[in-house]
Structure 1
Amino acid sequence: LGQSIALVSDAGTPAVNDPGVALVAAAHEAGIEVVAVPGPSAVSAAVSIAGFSGAGYHFAGFLPRGGGDLRALLADRSHELLVAFEGPSRIVASLAVVADCQPTRHVAVCRELTKLHEEVVRGTAIDVLAHLTDGETRGEFVVVLAPLELLSDDAPATSLAFALELEAEGVRLKRACSIAADRLGGTSNALYDAALAARGS
């Protein structure tokens, strides 16, 4: 009680291609505050304390401003650890898109890393969005999204619905069907035909 414990890796940053992620996740589950030692990159600092496992990660820079582009990125990288920057004026809107299309995806939003007002909020996209809506959104953010676990039983119906959602957000239908088929199941041609039928074309 009241002690500080350091996790040090001799192979690089803890939890970045390192088994330290298990200790970080266990600490979060136990309610222990996890902070990163200041380093050269907010990306690696965020990944090291997020507590999500993955074989590497994809860094997307700043999240796309357009809802359709963001949905396409989320679909393209749904089975990967995805890391991105976001600014204070857009963090709630961006998390709202994540919560809308991938509500059960686990997210860690890291605010003001290694600074006085550092904060890490973890949970499902819906839970994190609720926290941010009621909480502090000043400062700079690093968003870490865990790989999405999907249920294969509902893949065809989910794929069609997702393709139509992507199209509604501005993604061309053929591209939307290709993304949905790749990430959620089905074939792009069959999805395209089903999407045309669903919208009465």
Structure 2
Amino acid sequence: MDIPVFEENIEPRTLYVVATPIGNLADITLRALYILENVDLIACEDTRRTALLLQYYGIEKPLISFHSHSGKKRFTEIRDRLETETIALVSDAGSPCVSDPGAELVAYLIQNGFSIRPIPGPSAAISALSASGLDTREFTFRGFLGKKGLRQRVKEILKCPETQIVYESPQRLVNLLRLICEIDPNRDVVVAREVTKLYEEFIRKTAKECLEYFADKEVKGEITLLIAGDHKKAVYTEEEVAKLLKERFDQGQSLRDATKELAKELGIPKNSIYEIGLNITRQ
């Protein structure tokens, strides 16, 4: 494939953070291909996996590994090589540094005076959210929840009014669904499996129904779990919200701070509260 030529110089002392496909190899931007073809070196989570992507697009570049087990020596090596070479950072799939060890490298290089340039593209979390059918106005990305204190974390997450996005391994999905069911079996959830791949699957059901669906299955592939926000809170009229806002204004709070507090307390979208507050200030 001939890579288009862009009027973009590959800048020195700059790490290019390049998003790569999460499954379908066609889901890569032309700019990402241009950067990968024109840098001197590519740092990647798994050199074998990245080599397959580069081979598919006819790109030949030296690769070095950078992953969660990379020691301090690799950090300093990349720092030193950035003095004279141009480098791109990629993960196994999706956007590097999001629930990914690349975040530590980026922080380290910023502290050492280097520039970071994002080359946007695929993200499993955002792709799953866009097709979930859940409320997308506000959401929280949790990454992998892990094993330690999982039950307590699930309890806290289920109290949140905004949509929650979680990554989970296929081996632990059923256990996570079971914990959600113990607290709120009727909560709407979406299990997005193998997004953009051949066997892509979206299961949109209650937590209880999803648990029943997956309980006896051998779950495989990449999993993104989306959990609807807690909407079982009291319904507040505009007059009631306005009264609560006025009380906070009388206490010296700004509209911004009062909006943030009430949104968290009442489970109402910030923009709705802010509009009511603006009407008060205009009176």
Letter in 1 for 2:169: G
More helix by share: 1
Structure 1 contact 63–86 (Cα < 8 Å) conserved: yes
Contact 1:54/1:147 (<8 A) preserved: no
Q: Is the 8 A contact 2:193 2:222 kept in 1?
A: yes
**Higher Cα Rg, which structure:** 2
- Quickly say closer, same or farther: Cα 1:95–1:63, change in 2 above 3 A: same
The answer on whether the counterparts of 1:64 and 1:70 sit within 8 Å (CA) in structure 2 is no
- CA distance in structure 1 between the partners assigned to 2:129 and 2:154 by the alignment: 22
For residues 96 and 131 of structure 1, the distance between their equivalents in structure 2, rounded to whole angstroms, comes to 12
Runs of at least 4 residues of structure 1 off by over 6 A?
A: none
Structure 2's unaligned 5+ residue stretches are: 1-25, 28-120, 236-264, 268-283
Match of 1:103 among 168, 185, 188: 185
Give CA deviations for 1:153-201 in whole Å, capped at 9, x if unaligned. 9xxxxxxxxxxxxxxxxxxxxxxxxxxxx689xxxxxxxxxxxxxxxxx
Structure holding more strand per residue: 2
Residue identity (%):
32
Offset at 1:132? Answer: 0.9
- Taking the aligned partners of 1:69 and 1:104, their CA distance within structure 2 comes to 19
Q: What's the CA shift for 1:75?
A: 3.6
Q: Matched residue pairs, number?
A: 119
Match of 2:134 among 39, 52, 55: 52
Which of residues 32, 53, 61 is equivalent to 2:143? 61
TM-score (norm 1): 0.53
The structural deviation recorded for 1:151 is 5.5
Partner of 1:149: 231
**Structure 1 residue runs without a partner (length 5+):** 1-36, 154-181, 185-201
Q: Which residue of 2 aligns with 1:177?
A: none
CA drift of 1:76 comes to 4.4
User: Which is worse superposed, 65-74 or 104-113?
Assistant: 65-74
The AA in structure 2 aligned to 1:71 is V
RMSD, aligned CA? 2.4
Native 8 Å contact 2:159 2:230 kept in 1: no
CA–CA distance in structure 2, aligned partners of residues 107 and 75 of structure 1: 11
Q: TM-score, normalised by structure 2?
A: 0.38
**What one-letter code is carried by the residue in structure 2 that aligns with 1:112?**
E
User: In the TM superposition, what whole-angstrom CA distance separates every residue of 1:47-82 from its partner, at most 9, and x where no partner exists?
Assistant: 0110012422100011242333333432442x1110
| SS, match of residue 50 in structure 1 | coil
CA contact (8 A) 2:162 2:228 kept: yes
